[in-house]
Structure 1
């Protein structure tokens, strides 16, 4: 029944729901649900989606759920890049990786998700084993490109676009500008 309702919702809406979270919150019904599509399609899927989520928002026409998902992930992409730089700064200056990650997680420099996601970074630094990850670089890059395109459509400038403009100004072409790929 759940699969049928979700598939019916997707068929009518022309876009599936975006439900964010990991396995633990999913089992506990604590996910954030972002739905887009027709009112009729949403009404059909809403009872099942309510059981899976702590919060469910119908954002309107198709595309708005995806836009909101990108809006949520944009600051996270920036944050996790900054965490990597912060740890590199500390460890590169001789601070023990375990101590650096412990202090970072206990500081105002950590978001809520850091308490669970920074310790595996420490494990990777000390063992070289990346362990299980919930985001691969290719998906992150795909999302960043979608974010840049979506920002352009609404007349906003992305950080990536600003970085390219600056690198052009100082004599680097886009191809030569440093990137994480």
Structure 2
């Protein structure tokens, strides 16, 4: 092989190596807010603004320590508590409103996170959140199925078992009716 060909081959090999490193680096970029893991999660959301369909996630904290619940109860405005089992048992995820309690515009949750994805069996709503739509697909896509739960006239939230939608929730909307 001529010297020029060896140099070109070395340069090409080097570029291929660099491209491989760049490609693998992009796959391990900074974790997304929904990347938090643990049995118990607290997600804080911004209220939907006119024309928006998705609430901005401002924080997501997860832990395997259930004592996180006590901290979460005192640190924000709880909108919904999703529980893994019926009667509010098992692992849970709390969704909090950074901008206050539910109103007619409400909050849109694109993904319930790994701890609750297709695992929720009961839900407790609070702070004027008396209506919600659960979706089997992420991004509130109704194509695989959805369930609407409402308490018209109730100002505060309430607990609902989810027998008709047990272990199917991936995303949801919550608001005041």
Task: Name which structure has the greater RCO, CA cutoff 8 Å, separation 6+.
Answer: 2
User: Where is the strand percentage greater, Structure 1 or Structure 2?
Assistant: 2
TM-score (norm 2): 0.22
User: Where is the helix percentage greater, Structure 1 or Structure 2?
Assistant: 1
